[in-house]
Amino acid sequence: MAVALTEAEAAAATRIFGDRLGLAIRYVEHLATSGIERGLIGPREVPRLWNRHVLNCAVVAELMDDGVRVADVGSGAGLPGLCLALARPDLSLTLIEPLERRVTWLHEVVADLGLDNVEILRARAEEAVGAVDCDVVTARAVSALKTLAPMTIPLLGGRGELLAIKGRSAAEEIEKAAKILRKLGGTSTEVLVAGADVLAEPTTVVRVTVDRR
């Protein structure tokens, strides 16, 4: 099922995905078909797949250094993990997802797209600690930062970054999570904007820098 792009979305997608745009289009087709059939995406989201989901997630890659190892917690339909893998083939992604039907779908999509920079781990985040080596942990629509931090930061092994895609409540979430972030080794927390030069509505990201050395 082809999902039409607006002129602005097509321009943004071309800049973000470059010569991998064809793969990104196929990924969106998966979301719009089997993703809906298996309950990973709601049918009402189809018109917004590019703008609200895929492009919104992919621009977070601009906040990452070359060649870093990324663990995506609660990957679900591959948001943001697969978007990052498509936008940045230099990144190494581990998609962490506990639900079997979602893991099965992710395996199918990764195989179809031929992505060799993606591994999939069926586990809860806390079960993956020690099993994943990563420099960056990502999460989107998992939980509030106060709850998300204890689930994700331990995956870093004491040093790295948490990049959590958030909305307008980002600053409020940081305030409520301040104590737990310090306890987990957070040395700085900031609200960033990704995709300002390509998206009409840039993505809000909370970056927590961790160093427990």
Of 45, 65, 63, nearest to 54 by C-alpha is 45
Structure tokens at 143: 């939980």
Name all domains of the chain by residue range, CATH numbers in brackets: 7-211 (3.40.50.150)
Structure tokens at 57: 């997630």
Residues of the chain with pLDDT > 90, as a percent, come to 90
d(CA 203, CA 4): 21
Alpha helices per DSSP H over the chain: 7-17, 21-32, 34-37, 55-58, 81-87, 100-113, 145-152, 170-183
pLDDT of residue 70: 98
Of 42, 70, 48, 69, nearest to 3 by C-alpha is 48
pLDDT of residue 209: 97
Residues of the chain scoring pLDDT < 50? none
Do β-strands 159-166 and 186-194 pair in parallel, antiparallel, or remain unpaired?
unpaired
d(CA 58, CA 74): 16
pTM: 0.95
Chain segment 18-75, per-residue pLDDT in tens: 999 999 999 999 999 999 999 999 999 888 999 889 999 999 999 999 999 999 999 9
- Mean pLDDT of the chain, nearest integer: 94
pLDDT of residue 23: 98
